[in-house]
A and B are shown apart, each in its own frame.
Chain A
Amino acid sequence: MNRRTLRRTALPATLFIALGLTACGGQTEGSATGEGGVSGEVLVDGSSTVEPLTSAAGEFFLEEAPDVNVSVGTSGTGGGFEVFCQGQTDISNASRPIKEEEAAACETEGIEFTELQVATDALTVVTSSENDFITCLTTEELATLWGPAAEGTITTWNQVNPEFPAEPIELFGPGTDSGTFDYFTGEINGEEGVSRTDYNASEDDNVIVQGVSGSPNALGYFGFTYFEQNAEALKAVEIDSGEGCVAPSAEAAQDGSYTPLARPLFIYVNNAAVTDKPQVKAFVDFFAANDAPIAEAAKFIPLNDEQRSALESTASSLG
């Protein structure tokens, strides 16, 4: 190879390497800036149900701390805890409390965390607005309908309640990866993750909305927001847990009368991240102090007074 050839081959190669190296630079590290403001990244992942709330918090927080980048992912509650316990994220969104084995994984990696309840959700059982025979279901009836024993056997509505017509049951619900599924099965069927499997499962709640609104004999469940946004096509079923029928609403979820399907929504905060990264501490403090307007803007059910003071005191004890 003569010198000229070498130059012709070497030039593009050098350019390519140089390009690659320059592109690798330019990384921002989290730190407190001189003006007393904070900057850097706050990494959040986890439940897609809680994501709008944390995103709204991040958006409001931007007005106070314009140099902080809050990025929120939606790997699901379980997927979020997985990376949280590897120390890859600062905050994990969760639509159910952390499981023992997940907490154990955190402990193995030496990750200490704090649980903060940031909002309430009313898991809503819905039928089509055209359904004229269901207004209220007892928790026993829901268990008959959704329990693992129902698979293949409970197929018409009169099997759930003799007063219902002998129409075929069409069920829609979230898939098994969802925290909503975990919570519902835990409360209704007595064990998390145990459910009949012959229903139309979808991770996309809009698919459940479509499915349920399409048939008068269909029933499904999801978070309260999806009912509120589709209230004209759907009917929320009242739930009777032994003390009378209660319709899902913000008030009923807040005062605790909507049982057992009112569920707490959490963020889990990595304690070390709060201590080491001022922007994470500032974000968590801001979130706790402005929880009510944040929840309202993101269309979540805000905490009641008792829960709010618990949130504020836990948040202030951090770091």
Chain B
Amino acid sequence: MATIGQLATQPIKARKHGAKSPASIAFLVALWCALGFSILCLLTLLITSVMDGLPRLDSNLLTQYTSQIAPERGGARAAIIGSLWVIAATAIMAIPLGIAAAVYLEEFADPRRWYNRLIEVNLQNLAAVPAIVYGLLTAGFALSIGLRRGVVLAGGIALALLILPVIIITAREALRAVPAEIRQGSLALGATPLQTVWRQTLPSAIPGVATGTILALSRALGEAAPLLLLGGLVTIRFDPNGLLSGFTTLPIQIFNWAGRAEADFQQLAAAAIILLLVMLLLMNALAILIRNRYQRQW
């Protein structure tokens, strides 16, 4: 068994064909096992969900409300519409704010100022804060301004706070990827800094910003924890119809159904999981499509 020391002292050529050394074979096998294990887990999850949920992947799932009396005919209508409302509210709050913050930090902020560095460090930390904390924060905020907790607006605030750091960070990356020559050229032609950002830098960065934003929104779509803390409405039999309307979302509904005693509800949960997975896959596919189609090489 070769130690790392022995490997390091071997000539480069021997290491290049390192597949022959027992240590590197063992390492490669370990890597494949790790990869295989995670894919296996994912496949098991997918296959069991599909097998459990397939009989319920019908139009009732989309058009009916959840039903305690007849769970075999129930559906996720309120949850689907609620998810759309909350994601729309999240997007309206998080996207302009996130992009504006990214533009400020990347194009205007002076990184030598202590407060800008403080914002920078905070952003990195906020991106790693557990989702549930944003739910608590929003619940407290809603109480202090007299807003009911379990409404679309509160859900939107919680999810917007959750994904704001992610949007800011990815939007900054996208802005940073725009070559400095573009800005310099624009400024040299007499454009003001604001015009340069608005007409040159930001449009050039849009593909990257859009990709990051969609991925952030798809994370928000799959999130249950912060919304559960906001009251976790699980049974509503009406379509949410405004920012101050009560709501439920797909992850909350799935969480509730999966915990029920009746097998009908668990089947419904599996069907809703498939639905949620399809929605998430579509959003992620859209992000990849935008990236591949509009990405520019400078």
B69 touches A60 (CB 8 A): yes
Interface residues of A in 45-60 (CB under 8 A from B): 45, 48, 51-52, 54-56, 58-60
CB of B261 within 8 A of chain A?
yes
CA distance in complex: A173, B150 (Å): 29
CB of B67 within 8 A of chain A?
yes
* Interchain nearest-CB distance for B239 vs A (Å): 10
* Interchain nearest-CB distance for A243 vs B (Å): 29
A24 touches B243 (CB 8 A): yes
CB of A204 within 8 A of chain B?
yes
Binds B, one of A1-9, A247-255, A272-280: A1-9
CB of A25 within 8 A of chain B?
yes
CA distance in complex: A25, B92 (Å): 15
Contact with A along B215-258 (1 / 0, CB 8 A): 00000000000000001111111100111111000000000101
Q: Which residues of B contact A55 (CB under 8 A)?
A: 66, 68, 234-235
- Using a CB–CB distance below 8 Å, which chain A residues touch chain B? 1, 5, 8-9, 16, 19-20, 23-28, 41, 43, 45, 48, 51-52, 54-56, 58-60, 62, 69-75, 83, 86, 88, 203-206, 223, 225-226, 228-230, 297-299
Task: State which of A19, A24, A43, A70 has its C-beta within 8 Å of the C-beta of B244.
Answer: A24
A69 touches B235 (CB 8 A): no
CA distance in complex: A97, B66 (Å): 28
CA distance in complex: A122, B6 (Å): 68
Task: State which of A45, A54, A69 has its C-beta within 8 Å of the C-beta of B236.
Answer: A69
B195 touches A75 (CB 8 A): no
CA distance in complex: A48, B252 (Å): 13
CB of B278 within 8 A of chain A?
no
Task: State which of A23, A27, A229 has its C-beta within 8 Å of the C-beta of B262.
Answer: A229
Q: Which 6 A-B pairs have the closest CB atoms?
A: A26-B242, A229-B261, A55-B235, A56-B68, A72-B235, A71-B236
A226 touches B261 (CB 8 A): yes
* Interchain nearest-CB distance for A225 vs B (Å): 5
Task: State which of A45, A59, A86, A205 has its C-beta within 8 Å of the C-beta of B68.
Answer: A59
- Using a CB–CB distance below 8 Å, which chain B residues touch chain A? 66-69, 89, 92, 96, 143, 148-150, 153, 192, 194-195, 198, 231-238, 241-246, 256, 258-263, 266
* Interchain nearest-CB distance for B91 vs A (Å): 11
B261 touches A20 (CB 8 A): no
* Interchain nearest-CB distance for A294 vs B (Å): 9
B231 touches A59 (CB 8 A): no
CA distance in complex: A310, B260 (Å): 30
CA distance in complex: A203, B232 (Å): 15
A205 and B234 in contact (CB under 8 A), knowing A1-B192, A59-B68, A73-B150?
no
* Interchain nearest-CB distance for B130 vs A (Å): 18
CA distance in complex: A41, B148 (Å): 13
* Interchain nearest-CB distance for B139 vs A (Å): 9
* Interchain nearest-CB distance for A79 vs B (Å): 9
A1-B194, A72-B234, A203-B259 given. 4 additional CB < 8 A pairs?
Answer: A69-B237, A72-B235, A229-B261, A297-B69
Q: Which residues of A contact B69 (CB under 8 A)?
A: 56, 59-60, 297-298
Q: Which residues of B contact A226 (CB under 8 A)?
A: 261
A59 and B261 in contact (CB under 8 A), knowing A19-B92, A27-B242, A88-B149?
no
Q: Which residues of B contact A299 (CB under 8 A)?
A: 261-262
A16 touches B92 (CB 8 A): yes
Task: State which of A71, A86, A203, A206 has its C-beta within 8 Å of the C-beta of B235.
Answer: A71
* Interchain nearest-CB distance for A60 vs B (Å): 7
* Interchain nearest-CB distance for B258 vs A (Å): 7
In chain B, what residue has the closest Cβ to A207?
A: B259
Q: Of B92, B238, B262, which is in contact with the most chain A CB atoms at under 10 Å from its CB?
A: B238
A9 and B198 in contact (CB under 8 A), knowing A51-B234, A52-B68, A228-B261?
yes
B89 touches A23 (CB 8 A): yes
A229 touches B263 (CB 8 A): yes
Q: Which residues of A contact B195 (CB under 8 A)?
A: 1, 5
Could you jot down 11 A-B contacts, CB within 8 Å? A20-B92, A26-B242, A27-B244, A45-B231, A51-B235, A59-B69, A71-B233, A73-B234, A203-B259, A206-B258, A230-B261
Q: Of B150, B261, B263, which is in contact with the most chain A CB atoms at under 10 Å from its CB?
A: B261
Q: Which residues of A contact B192 (CB under 8 A)?
A: 1, 5
Q: Which residues of B contact A58 (CB under 8 A)?
A: 235, 237
